[in-house]
């Protein structure tokens, strides 16, 4: 199950389960939209993959107990700010490679 992390890993902005600006990579590394667009250039600093909007887990029990009340968001904060200069070089290198070849 997807881990709904509580904050942006770069700037530590709160990203509650219903945040519309939460972005994740396939490893669930979690960032806010402004860091993804401004600092990360859509490159995850941990794996080099892209980032996409995080789906919202339903707050209400619409069906089969699959909702936040049964599967709450994580409270474990991972605040690991990126080195912006080093990341810019990393992102620039990856962006020269076609997505299917990365
Ligand atoms: Zn952020
Ligand atoms: Zn990642």
Which residues fall inside 5 Å of ion ligand 1, going by CB?
Answer: 8, 10-11, 13, 32, 35
* 47 CA → ligand 2 middle, Å: 4
Residue 42 falls in which region: left (phi positive, over 0), alpha (psi -120 to 50) or beta: left
Nearest 10 degrees: Cα torsion 38, 82, 32, 52: 80
The tens place of each residue's pLDDT in the chain, 102 residues long, gives 999 999 999 999 999 999 999 999 999 999 999 999 999 999 999 999 999 999 999 999 999 999 999 999 999 999 999 999 999 999 999 989 988 888
* 69 CA → ligand 2 middle, Å: 27
Three-class secondary structure assignment of the chain: CCCCCCECCCCCCECCCCCCCEEECCCCCEEEHHHHHHHHCCCCCCCCCCCEECCCCCCCCCCCCCCCCCCCCCCCCCCCCCCHHHHHHHHHHHCCCCHHHC
pTM: 0.93
Structure tokens that stand for 48 in this block = 């080099």
CA within 13 Å, CB half, 47:
10
What pLDDT is attached to residue 19?
98
* 63 CA → ligand 2 middle, Å: 30
Ligand that lies nearest to the alpha carbon of residue 11, given by its number in the listed order:
1
């Amino acid at each position: 199950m997807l881990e709904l992390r509580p904050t942006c890993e770069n700037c530590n902005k709160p990203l509650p389960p219903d945040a519309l600006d939460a972005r994740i990579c396939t490893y669930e590394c979690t960032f806010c939209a402004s860091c993804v667009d401004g600092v990360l250039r859509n490159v995850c600093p941990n794996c080099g993959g892209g980032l996409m909007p995080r789906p919202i887990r339903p707050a209400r029990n619409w069906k089969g107990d699959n909702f936040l009340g049964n599967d709450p968001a994580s409270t474990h904060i991972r605040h690991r700010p990126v080195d912006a200069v080093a990341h810019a070089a990393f992102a620039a290198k990856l962006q020269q490679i076609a997505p299917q070849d990365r």
